[in-house]
Amino acid sequence: MGYDWHITRAFVSYESHWFPILGTEVDALVDAEPDLLIPAGTPKRPDYCYVSWTAEAADSDDYLIFQDGRLSRKNPRPAFLRRMAAIAAHLDAWLIGDNSEVYAEPNAWQRGPKAFATRHFITRGPWRTGESNPPPIHADEWAALVNTQPDFEWTTQIEAVLPSGVRTIPCPPVATWTAHPTTVPFFMDDDAIQVRNADPPTIARMKALAIPLKAHVLDDDAQPA
């Protein structure tokens, strides 16, 4: 099976696409670091590539896969894991394991529960993802609803908590509720809408949006909000 380590700007690897490292940043990283290379003949897209470590201490298994806004490697050996930590620092990103522990030389440390977001979902299903019956929420119907809401707008900037502190980074278009004192992103999460750390006014706004979608609001334990 193995164990993956991820260079990411998210607290959990599967949210990396919401807080992404960009392909242009990976290209700039490779240009700046003489021991890194995007191998010729490997797939290369703005959102996907391989990055090889070419130092004298490297071997053929020392490479990263860039996809979904993160750089990852399964079972990196210790020397390469240390190089990954330096790459993460260069990118102002975290180096985390599959269990979201943060790598810090020479060990990994666990973040406390307060480091992670609580989650609420607008969904038609029994939990955060819908099922064929009832039908899932589709991205196009969510976008159509957002476009009718005067207190929502689409943005391509998001606030991220990074090793250097909190800063705004580019992201894919995300619907944000602008009537809240702090702008609240509403993420399209497969076939549901996810909001992180929702307070009571945000949950009330979610419930209002659920009505035209013929959906409901559940928490992370699949309980009604």
Per-domain residue ranges of the chain = 4-109, 117-219
User: Rounded to an integer, what distance in angstroms lies between the CA atom of residue 96 and that of residue 158?
Assistant: 21
pTM of the model: 0.92
- In this model, does residue 53 exceed pLDDT 90? yes
- In this model, does residue 176 exceed pLDDT 70? yes
69-83 pLDDT tens trace: 999 999 999 999 999
- In this model, does residue 142 exceed pLDDT 80? yes
Counted residue by residue, the chain has a size of 225
What pLDDT score was predicted for residue 130?
A: 56
214-220-223-225 Cα dihedral, nearest 10 degrees: -60
- In this model, does residue 128 exceed pLDDT 80? no
- In this model, does residue 133 exceed pLDDT 90? no
